[in-house]
């Protein structure tokens, strides 16, 4: 199995891009925060529970609760990835290692993130594997905020998106040093359909 993780800050188009691959023969997809489309039963049930938990944290402005909910998304992902391990190519709209490390910087209490990050990274790297390649959908924080027509999440302010972008780029640089290819796609000026076609062209070459 060849594994591709689609990453980027919010409203970069990750979920829509992965949905465009749902029906491509030989490609299996994981929608990390939903699992409704083609997920296994255990992922659908646990994913739905975790999503409701995250919504509770968001609606009550409880950063630790929302952060814990995002961490709990790793459990349905774990089962889903193993259920689909026989597929030729597996594409996920987030990455369990990189996304968790980047978002933990915001959802952990101030100053606590620096202490927790090393053991968290150790735990993630020993529980999950890095993908064979990343597709990084590169959107600026300003364009992300402008495109967002959903209720704002706790981390959706431009200053938080800017910090997330820095963290993603730092983690991807480390991944590149590990020898993992990074496909960077600029999305600020492109329609979503064009971005999806670029990713689809790349994924189909892996079949």
3-state secondary structure 105-150: HHHCCCCCHHHHHHHHHHHHHHHCCCCCEEEEEECCHHHHHHHCCC
Token pair in block for residue 4: 């591709």
pLDDT score, position 3: 97
d(CA 122, CA 89): 26
The residues near 98 (Cβ < 8 Å, ≥ 6 apart) are 5, 7, 134, 168, 171, 172, 175
pLDDT score, position 151: 65
Phi, psi at 29, each rounded to 5°: -125, 155
Q: Greatest CA separation found in the chain?
A: 46
pLDDT score, position 35: 52
Along the chain (207 residues), what's the average pLDDT of each consecutive run of 10 residues?
A: 95 91 91 60 60 74 78 83 88 94 83 85 94 97 84 71 94 97 96 95 94
pLDDT score, position 23: 86
pLDDT score, position 40: 54
Q: What is the separation of C-alpha 112 from the centre of its chain, rounded to a whole number of angstroms? A: 23
pLDDT score, position 98: 96
* Residue that is written with structure tokens 């646990």 in the block: 46
pTM: 0.88
pLDDT score, position 129: 94
């Amino acid at each position: 199995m060849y594994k591709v993780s689609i990453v980027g800050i919010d409203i970069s188009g990750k979920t829509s891009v992965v949905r465009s691959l749902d029906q491509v023969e030989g490609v299996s997809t994981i929608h990390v925060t939903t699992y409704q489309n083609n997920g296994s039963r255990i992922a659908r049930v646990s994913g739905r529970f975790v999503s409701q938990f995250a919504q509770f944290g968001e609606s009550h402005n409880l950063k630790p609760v929302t952060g814990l909910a995002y961490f709990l998304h790793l459990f349905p992902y774990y089962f889903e990835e193993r259920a689909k391990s026989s597929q030729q190519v597996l594409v996920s709209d987030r990455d369990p290692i990189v996304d968790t490390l980047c978002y933990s910087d915001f959802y952990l209490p101030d100053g606590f993130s620096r202490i927790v990050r090393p053991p968290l990274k150790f735990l993630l790297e020993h529980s999950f594997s890095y993908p064979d390649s990343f597709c990084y959908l590169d959107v600026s924080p300003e364009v992300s905020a402008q495109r967002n027509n959903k209720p704002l999440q706790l981390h959706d302010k431009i200053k938080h998106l800017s910090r997330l972008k820095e963290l993603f780029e730092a983690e991807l640089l480390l991944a590149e040093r590990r020898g993992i290819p990074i496909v960077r796609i600029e999305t600020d000026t492109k329609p979503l359909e064009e971005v999806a076609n670029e990713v689809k062209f790349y994924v189909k070459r892996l079949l």
